[in-house]
Structure 1
Amino acid sequence: MMKSVFRFSVSVLALAAAPAAFAQQAAAPDAAATETSDDIVVTATRAPMNIDQVPASITVLDKAAIDRSQDIGATEILLRTPGISISRNGGYGTSTSLRIRGAESDQTVVVIDGVKLNDPAATGGGYNFANMLIGDSSRIEVLRGPQSILWGSQAIGGVVNIVTAAPTKALEGSFDIEAGSRETVSARAAIGGKTGPLAWRVGGQRFTTAGISAIAPQFGGKEADGYNNSSASGRAELTLTSNLSVEVRGYYSNGRTEIDSTSGDNSDYSTSEEFVGYAGINLSLLDGRFRNRFAYAYTDTDRDSYGPTRARPLSFESDGKNKRFEYQGSFAFTKQISAVFGVENENSDFRSRSPAASLATPLPAFSRGSAELTSAYAQLSVEPITGLTLNGGIRYDDHSRFGGQTLFQAGGVWRSSWGTIIRANYGEGFKAPSLYQQFSEYGNTALDPEQAKGWEAGVEQQLFGRKLVFGATYFERKTTSQIIFNSCTATSTVPLCFVPGSPTVRRFGYYSNVSRAEAHGIEASGALNLGGFTLDGNYSWTVAEDRSPGTATFGKWLPRRPQNTANGSISYAFPFGLTTGAAVRWSGHSFDNAANTTRLDDYTLVDLRAELKAGDNLSVFARAENLFDEKYMTAYRYGTLGRSIYAGIRGRF
């Protein structure tokens, strides 16, 4: 299969040498590309394309929507989109899991400026949203459903694509400063410019809060657990010739979070340091019909935990690294036929250990593991008749520990002249066991990869030049060989309850492939924009169940996934520069455990916001979150933010 995909790429290269039959340009193979159209353009498809030509369900949040929400963290604004649920072990900075359509949190790929973010040392090898602030984001896109053809392992639930701002003027900048409840302060600034062949931008943010108790008050939590985070991002692109450019991008985050034990308050804390680096060369040939990108990306996530009252304060340390080489190309055969294709090589490694509290106990050796993944993919897009777009793709992954895996995808979009859009899509997913699941103190080297298949079909109606848009989508997904953690009792005789190679030394648990999960549901949304008046809302019905045959949990809800959620917002921009708005979120009940014996009650949150222009480039804003001080939990025993009031100033120049 690898050879077949390679031959396809070589064939495209050969066609590139042929005379151009049409003047069509290929889309730039760059997930952080600047929009060049007045239409809504998405980049989570790895090459910019009109949203009406994407067969999978997608939500796009542009800079105006991001500013209007006034949210500090990425999860807060993502939670307002269809099919999204989160759980958090306390306030800002604590472990945060985001789930798309009921999939596991580590089955979502997170991308910033074209670079995949994941921590090979994390339990499932996924991304923890705890430290992801809005920062200098100019767009956030959520692509739902299996997306492994273009984004590879982990994209079973979907993709969250974050694009930072790119300069468009000779000199430009922005800043946001706000403060509010619990001694919370957030300050962000960015500056950049575009002069001659060089375009550059740098930005930074500092966030700090006294926080809330990670353990909920009803379980004894009294002491506030603070959090602070510093982050910076930068990008630069140098155009060498009309068809050749080089670019670099970087992102850095450093956070410190005070945490509690499961039994109550304590003085423990954790730190997290994340670095993302990217360097690439962009080459355009044949008058833009053949675009190429050669790139190297590097991610490093370092996490440590400390117990200041311990004789040895360091209680946990881990480090996960990814090194990724990739080539991506796009080729426009004709105005109606185009392709995106590429080859990738990723090397990941991790180390982690949990030192004992006693200084008399020697430091344990690190648990270590590494893996290499080489992939090739191709996706063809065809418009056989006006208004109908069909695409199909194939991917081959060659994993150093699990061999070869071939995945397929196919979909179509029909756009009528009267604004009706019909979408259908089928996709497959593949996720190799994480390095932690294989090689940590709870690891199992006999694990199999998780497999998923999913499809969706939906309809959307656009009226009055997109002033009124509404639609609905039905989806299904089946996941097999899903990996779960099994706890061990003190008397268990299961061989995996003993440390490998030490048949008398017990461990607390292990990972295994004993689970099958299924999800299906409906996502409905609508939006009305009339001058300064905006009204939008969405409803998601997501049934995510354990379907493991012969188990006590067969038919039970998967933990921390509400079946019903709804969001709504309304805003009005007055002619004199004042914009006011309100938002409401309702979440139905869920269960915290696989047996469905620990219930998390439903809740309703109401937010208010206002912004007043104080000049052409300056505005002041304020908001109230959880206005009625609703008491709720997204994870059992863990606290959530009560009523919060914030105010600030924003500048754009």
Structure 2
Amino acid sequence: MSTLTALVFLLSSVPLGDAAADQTAPPPDAAATTGTAATDEPDRPDIFVTATRLALPLDKVAASITALDKAAIDRAQDIGVTELLLRTPGVSMSRNGGYGTSTSLRIRGAESDQTVVVIDGVKLNDPSSAGGGYNFANLLVGDASRIEILRGPQSILWGSQAIGGVVNVVTPLPTKAMEGSFDIEAGSRDTVSARAAIGGVSGPLRWRIGGQSFTTAGISAIAPAFGGREADGYHNRQLTGRAEIALAASLVADLRGYYSSGRNAFDAFSGDNPAYGTNREFVGYAGLRLDLLDGRFRNRIGYGYTDTDRDNFDPRLPRTRTFDSAGRNQRLEYQGSFAISDTWTAQFGVENERSRFRSVSPPSSLAVPIPPAVRGRAEISSVYGQLSAELLTGLTLTVGVRHDDHNRFGGQTLGSAGAVWALPTGTVLRANYGEGFKAPTLYQLFSEYGNQALNPERAHGWDAGVEQHFLDGRIRLGGAWFERTTRDQIIFNSCSATSSLPLCLQPGSTTIRRSGYYQNVARAKAHGIEAQASVEPVKGLILDGNYSWTVAEDRSPGANFGRWLPRRPRNQANASISYAWPFGLTTGAALRWSGHSFDNASNTQRLDGYTLVDLRAEVALHDNLRLFARVENLFDESYMTAYRYGSLGRSVYAGLRGRF
């Protein structure tokens, strides 16, 4: 802490000067409330984003990022965050059935557990899962007011796991004495979704609380072509809340919370069965924000806690519980931002994260005692800093460094650098380089398949792109090239019944065999192109689309060298059109196309490509009340994102949306 104290003293002692007298530092918070600010183009206000852990205009962010505001979220009408993310460049998904089943999201071909998920500034990855990643199955849109996707290695700011990118979900804070919203809809397969939120401002207090309930009879997780007949239902209840209270003119106390409870039926790979799982997630945050030097030096100290409990049950067995796990994560952090001048900003922080997990698979027979749960702990302490400077008008350079000290793997230092140049011609040039680091998960180290000799995964990547804005932003074109190399990637190796390898025996045993183990044997490379366009030719008409070409290959020595990494299509595209008619009706259509992929590392099991078409409409019944409806998968396309597992066919939904 002495290093941080010295840094604070040094920055505080920098002379203010006339240039910096009116300069304020951006809020150092991924959940900061953002808005718009005036620019040289009155019809195109700046878009602010916070996935960089500072509230910055989009034109000052070097990394590739997509930001979805509340209007875009409402226009899409999606229930789950996964469906929204799939409409953005470079994102692919695999799901073991319908809503609620295991859902893996991949950014630019990275592993699904190499994406950091953040809700109101708190990381939500599960320490008890095999890869330590997040299961997107239970993340509903809920009260989200902004969703951001930051692509490429982001470990400088977000630490371990941010090799593929970051998904940042932010819920709103109120601006009026009393305000609220609601959405309720129903449709195919007895699906019902109801969401409501209310909040207000009273003196020094700002607060908002929101909840959502979702239930569906579902489809068979196993595709009908493989004998799936029994519908696997799902329900989820979630609650979010935020509150701020001004303790003094420059001191604010901050509380945030998120809770989700879900139950989903699922099928074994072999076919229908009555098994089901429960999932409970809790996120809590308490912090203080202190602004000094008239906002030139901003500070935030916070404590974040995540708790994930997962259980599986099979009613046919004498002992019905078949799996029991829990993951806990405690995070203490300090983050600061300092306006060195009107064109130079420093961002810095210190973090300590402690994770633990517990996992056990009880035997089905009551005559066999339940074995002791496998347990593990890890601690990582980090310090990071990033400096941004606008050297020329519109040209912002950023350099950063991070040092992680893991209690098992020692120290690791990472670097990053980027540049963004917003030209008066409406051209924005971006280039960014970042490094990633991901320590082996507790499950990979300590479970019955664990290997305590594992090394951390490491990655480095870069991207460069250009955007062009015409007609005050009514036409926007953009494209980017990216590359990423990952080494020491951790994979699961299966053991044959006759294998003599020592790692095919349970740790500490010379006789008890196990079905497999984790090992650093895989390396991967990815590169590709992301292109996007948005056009508003006349008022009310919006056309947009994007295309992603992602080459993600296995580069480990052996028979699979050069083969596609599983479940990563090389070609994907999205397109949509929306028109607001003068009499209050808005209609639209969306198309999603995915090329083929492979389900296994040897590329022998092909997953065919598919095309999905959605229709949507909404009509204003009142200034604050709208009736909406949509048809998803209009042509009832049958497709798989994971072999043998089904997907939703044609679905029809309708509902009401209110804002007040």
TM-score range, shorter chain: over 0.9
Q: Give the Cα separation in 1 of the matches to 2:584 and 2:175.
A: 25
What is the CA distance between 1:31 and its match in structure 2? 1.1
Structure 2 counterparts to residues 228-243 of structure 1, below 5 A:
228-243=235-250
Match for residue 419 of structure 1 among 409, 415, 426: 426
Match for residue 583 of structure 1 among 590, 599, 607: 590
Counterpart residue identity of residue 71, structure 1:
D
The 3-state SS of whatever aligns with 1:106 is helix
Structure 2 counterparts to residues 360-371 of structure 1, below 5 A:
360-371=367-378
Match of 2:551 in 1: 543
Q: Give the Cα separation in 2 of the matches to 1:594 and 1:309.
A: 34
What is the CA distance between 1:449 and its match in structure 2? 0.1
What is the CA distance between 1:166 and its match in structure 2? 1.1
TM-score using structure 1 length: 0.98
Q: Give the Cα separation in 2 of the matches to 1:573 and 1:392.
A: 43
The 3-state SS of whatever aligns with 1:94 is coil
8 Å CA contact 2:568–2:598 kept in 1: the answer is yes
Match for residue 135 of structure 1 among 138, 142, 145: 142
Counterpart residue identity of residue 531, structure 1:
K
What is the CA distance between 1:444 and its match in structure 2? 0.5
Q: Give the Cα separation in 1 of the matches to 2:499 and 2:616.
A: 55
8 Å CA contact 1:534–1:570 kept in 2: the answer is yes
Match of 1:15 in 2: 11
Between 1:9-18 and 1:447-456, the stretch displaced more is: 9-18
Counterpart residue identity of residue 20, structure 1:
L
In the alignment, is residue 322 of structure 1 matched against residue 329 of structure 2? yes
Q: What is the aligned-residue RMSD (CA, Å)?
A: 0.9
Match for residue 281 of structure 2 among 274, 290, 293: 274
Match for residue 76 of structure 2 among 46, 60, 69: 69
Q: Give the Cα separation in 1 of the matches to 2:461 and 2:287.
A: 33
Q: Give the Cα separation in 2 of the matches to 1:648 and 1:319.
A: 37
What is the CA distance between 1:10 and its match in structure 2? 2.2
Once the two structures are superposed, residues 367-425 of structure 1 have per-residue CA deviations (whole angstroms, 9 ceiling, x without a partner) of 11000000000000001111110000000000000000000000001111010111000
Match of 1:59 in 2: 66
Which structure 1 segments of 5+ residues have no match?
none
Match for residue 520 of structure 1 among 517, 527, 538: 527
Match of 1:192 in 2: 199
Match of 1:107 in 2: 114
What is the CA distance between 1:18 and its match in structure 2? 4.1
What is the CA distance between 1:303 and its match in structure 2? 0.1
What is the CA distance between 1:30 and its match in structure 2? 1.2
Which structure 2 segments of 5+ residues have no match?
38-45
Consecutive aligned runs of 4 or more in structure 1 exceeding 2 Å deviation:
6-15
Match of 1:28 in 2: 27
Match of 1:438 in 2: 445
**Alpha-carbon spacing, 1:540–1:9, altered in 2? closer, same or farther (3 Å):** farther
Once the two structures are superposed, residues 211-230 of structure 1 have per-residue CA deviations (whole angstroms, 9 ceiling, x without a partner) of 00000001110000000000
Counterpart residue identity of residue 540, structure 1:
S
Q: Give the Cα separation in 1 of the matches to 2:239 and 2:403.
A: 35
Q: Give the Cα separation in 2 of the matches to 1:55 and 1:279.
A: 30
Q: Give the Cα separation in 1 of the matches to 2:103 and 2:506.
A: 29
- The number of residues matched between the two structures is 648
Q: Give the Cα separation in 1 of the matches to 2:8 and 2:36.
A: 27
What is the CA distance between 1:8 and its match in structure 2? 7.0
Counterpart residue identity of residue 30, structure 2:
A
In the alignment, is residue 617 of structure 1 matched against residue 624 of structure 2? yes
8 Å CA contact 1:9–1:341 kept in 2: the answer is no
What is the CA distance between 1:268 and its match in structure 2? 0.3
Match for residue 179 of structure 2 among 156, 161, 172: 172
Q: Give the Cα separation in 2 of the matches to 1:65 and 1:282.
A: 30
The 3-state SS of whatever aligns with 2:294 is coil
The 3-state SS of whatever aligns with 1:11 is helix
**Alpha-carbon spacing, 1:201–1:622, altered in 2? closer, same or farther (3 Å):** same
Q: Give the Cα separation in 2 of the matches to 1:78 and 1:450.
A: 25
Q: Give the Cα separation in 1 of the matches to 2:321 and 2:259.
A: 23
Match for residue 630 of structure 1 among 628, 634, 637: 637
The 3-state SS of whatever aligns with 1:137 is coil
Match of 1:37 in 2: 36
What is the CA distance between 1:14 and its match in structure 2? 2.5
The 3-state SS of whatever aligns with 1:474 is strand
Q: Give the Cα separation in 2 of the matches to 1:576 and 1:190.
A: 28
**Alpha-carbon spacing, 1:628–1:367, altered in 2? closer, same or farther (3 Å):** same
In the alignment, is residue 402 of structure 1 matched against residue 409 of structure 2? yes
The 3-state SS of whatever aligns with 1:472 is strand
Q: Give the Cα separation in 1 of the matches to 2:222 and 2:374.
A: 30
Q: Give the Cα separation in 2 of the matches to 1:553 and 1:107.
A: 21
Q: Give the Cα separation in 1 of the matches to 2:369 and 2:406.
A: 35
8 Å CA contact 2:14–2:340 kept in 1: the answer is no
Once the two structures are superposed, residues 139-165 of structure 1 have per-residue CA deviations (whole angstroms, 9 ceiling, x without a partner) of 000000000000000000000000001
8 Å CA contact 1:12–1:331 kept in 2: the answer is no
Q: Give the Cα separation in 1 of the matches to 2:574 and 2:382.
A: 38
8 Å CA contact 1:100–1:158 kept in 2: the answer is yes
8 Å CA contact 2:251–2:290 kept in 1: the answer is yes
What is the CA distance between 1:12 and its match in structure 2? 4.1
8 Å CA contact 1:257–1:271 kept in 2: the answer is yes
Q: Give the Cα separation in 2 of the matches to 1:299 and 1:240.
A: 26
In the alignment, is residue 297 of structure 1 matched against residue 304 of structure 2? yes
Q: Give the Cα separation in 1 of the matches to 2:148 and 2:349.
A: 22
Q: Give the Cα separation in 1 of the matches to 2:426 and 2:155.
A: 30
The 3-state SS of whatever aligns with 1:465 is helix
Match of 2:475 in 1: 468
What is the CA distance between 1:13 and its match in structure 2? 3.0
Q: Give the Cα separation in 1 of the matches to 2:199 and 2:449.
A: 47
Counterpart residue identity of residue 649, structure 2:
G
